[in-house]
Amino acid sequence: MKLLNKREVEILHLLHDSKGFQNGKSLALLLEVSTRTIRNDIKKINETIEKNGAKIVSHKGKGYELEISEEDAFQKIYTEYLQKVTKNPDRTNHASEGNDLEEQIIKKILMNCLTDTSIHQEELAEELFISLSALKSYLSLVKVKISKYGLEVITDRFNGVKVVGNEDKIRFCISEYLFNNQSIDVYNDLFPENEIKRLKSITLQVLLRNQLKLTDVALENLIIHIEITIRRFMKNRLLAYQVKVSEDLKNTKEYKVAREIIHEIDYSLSINIESEIFYITQHLLASSRLYRKDIDYKDYKKIDTMLQKVLFEIKEKTSIDLSSDHNLIDGLIIHLSVALKRIEYQMNSRNDVLSSIKNNYPLAFQLAVIASNKINEITDLHIDENEIGFLAIHFGVALEKKGLNNQHVKKIMIVCGSGLATASLIREKILNYYGQQVSVVETISFAEFNESLLNLVDIVVSTVPIDLASDKIFTVSPILSNKELSRIRKKLTEDRDEADIINYRNIFKKELFVKNIDLPSKEEVLDFITKLMITNQYIDDYTKDSIYERERMASTELSNLLAIPHPIDNNMLQTTIAVCILKKPIIWDLEKVQVVIVLSVPKDKQKTWEVIFKQLYYFLIEEFGITKLISNYNYEDFIRNLSKYKETNI
């Protein structure tokens, strides 16, 4: 079977997830290639998928559509391609072959770093099947990526290519690039005689003996870092600790556990890493715990006190009160007890679901940003975007319990005169058609129905005529046709349509809808939009500063050319949204962005904020509305289609 490259898999993924047709221009815009390239890619894709029950068909005047004739056969190869080619299924990955080569170069350099050896440029170019001049151009990009870890790539004609910098940063970089997102069993062939498995057995026994219970992920991370420590130690690459830090670490339970692990390694593997005891202790302290009882009582009370201030700050800035949610508080204490040590020791952790959290739980992420800002104020510890994402998971659970992540569910009652089987058929058809947007609260016979029940529901669906004047009552046939389902849909949306369109026109200000803006950087774009909003008196300087502060804490770029900046704190009384479409994409932080939508939502309307954010995300990203917004839509088109999309997705 012919293998598809990343871009071809991305095209397949976009068409598979699309609910309608996608034209070549839209796909080309999203993937940053020409329409000709899209056509050629689709020919190659069809050569593979036609043998597996699917085909991409071009419909004149409409666009491309993925047609699947054999679901099982296609699904099998589709899943295999997603797993093999896309590193992170939670985030759209438009990485080119160039980015792939950069990653390969970094991994090869770090593999040599693991054993403290170097590799010459000629040798590296030969291994990658590229020219020496091409390698040199990639190395300049590799240096930028490695510099984010506080390290430097040195290219020396005689000594080859090496990574230099602080030992703790080198070890962290090795763990991130070589061992992240893999099971430790994968690396048995990298080290002597199943050393990883033996280390796991030793570590697990010592942890159980000392009743220190870590999560599975934390345990595997610990073992990987012990293995990295052994490799670097054997090349005399050691870590130095200040006396005060050493004394503080000696007073912990984890120091005793680290000593036992090191003793068992020496006994079983004849490798003495005694001088690395403080490094192992730090990793134990920064490893995620399973239970509250594993936390020191003083630490628990200290974090509890801090969280009261954090939750008060959230209430002040969003009007959301979570101070009585004891499950949230306990969960945050357990998480922060190790996360704060991770941050203090500069042992940052990558969050592989960060993009998914930002896209699907925007309000939870916003609360996590506010919490992180307050924690920074109290502890003077900088919390990065990955750690903010972990906090957001806890807030997401709390918001779900409060119902702030849920849309209003319409209540439906079924009145049936044809028996239980017919009533069940109608019920299932309604639930399948409307999904989680409705709830069938009761199914009753005509004899049981009375007028007072109308006050308990939004709609009554009846197979027999009910002699009452009410627009809530729908008389349908026992088989409930699609036409009748459409009539019910109209009722579900009519209470909202006019309000939604009016609301959209009220909040998406026409004077703040600007196109073809030619600005080269994120800073200049933000300055332009916020000044425009201030000039029109929709935000003040405090809100503008808060937008910048939010952006510094965690990037508001999403994917597919979209960024949605917004303030941490907002004193404005009116919801206002600005839309800025750039003439050409710019690098925001890591992703390219061409559409920038700035939200200004008052603190007492946070549920509105969540609904608007999700609506924009689904319309622009999931339904590819962003390509039409960039190329065709004016203000009226945008409002009309956004409103129409909301109606069809009730």
In tens, the pLDDT along 219-264 reads 888 888 898 899 888 888 888 776 666 787 888 888 999 999 999 9
SS3 279: helix
Helix ranges restricted to H, 508-535: 522-535
Tell me: the pLDDT tens digits for 395-423? Answer: 988 887 766 555 566 889 998 876 666 77
Q: Are residues 352 and 381 in the same domain?
A: yes
Q: What is the pLDDT of residue 86?
A: 43
Kindly state whether residues 318 and 280 are assigned to the same domain.
no
Q: Are residues 306 and 395 part of one domain? A: yes
Pairing label, strands 561-563, 592-600: parallel
Residue 166 CB contacts under 8 Å (≥ 6 apart), including other chains: 150, 151
Q: Are 282 and 257 in contact (CB under 8 A)?
A: no
User: What is the number of structural domains in the chain?
Assistant: 6
> In angstroms, rounded to a whole number, what is the distance separating the alpha carbons of residues 30 and 115?
41
**Which residue would you say has higher pLDDT here, 492 or 502?**
492
521 belongs to a structural domain: yes
What is the value of pTM for the model shown?
Answer: 0.63
CB 608 within 8 A of CB 14: no
Q: What is the C-alpha to C-alpha distance for residues 577 and 554, in angstroms, rounded to an integer?
A: 20
E strand or H helix at 576? strand 576-587
- Write out pLDDT tens, residues 547-575: 999 998 888 988 778 999 999 888 888 88
Listed residues 402, 425, 456: the one ending a domain: 402
Whether residue 551 contacts residue 545, with contact meaning beta carbons closer than 8 Å, is answered with no
- What torsion, rounded to 10 degrees, do the Cα atoms 169, 175, 181, 187 define? 170
Backbone angles phi and psi of 587, in degrees to 5: -80, 120
* pLDDT at position 201: 92
For residue 60, tell me if it sits in a domain. Answer: yes
Q: Are residues 277 and 302 in the same domain?
A: no
- Show which of 285, 320, 349 is a domain's final residue: 285
CB 343 within 8 A of CB 387: yes
Who's near 312: CB < 8 A, 6+ residues apart? 323
271 and 217 assigned to the same domain: yes
Report the pLDDT value the prediction gives residue 502, as an integer from 0 to 100: 46
**Pick the residue with more confidence: 295 or 375?**
375
Query: What pLDDT does 500 receive?
Result: 44
pLDDT tier, 375 (very low <50, low <70, confident <90, very high otherwise): very high
Average pLDDT over residues 2-12: 80
- 426 lies in a domain? yes
Give pLDDT, residue 647: 44
Of the listed ranges 92-96, 178-182, 272-276, the least confidently predicted one is 92-96
Domain region containing 105:
97-178
Task: Please tell me the distance from the alpha carbon of residue 395 to that of residue 331, in angstroms, as a whole number.
Answer: 10
**Which runs of consecutive H residues, i.e. helices, occur in 160-234?**
167-178, 195-209, 216-234
Segments of 435-575 assigned E as strands: 438-444, 459-462, 473-475, 508-517, 561-563
Q: Could you tell me which residues come within 8 angstroms of residue 647 by beta carbon, excluding any fewer than 6 positions away?
A: 493, 496, 497, 500
In a domain, 491, yes or no: no
The verdict on residue 360 lying in a domain is yes
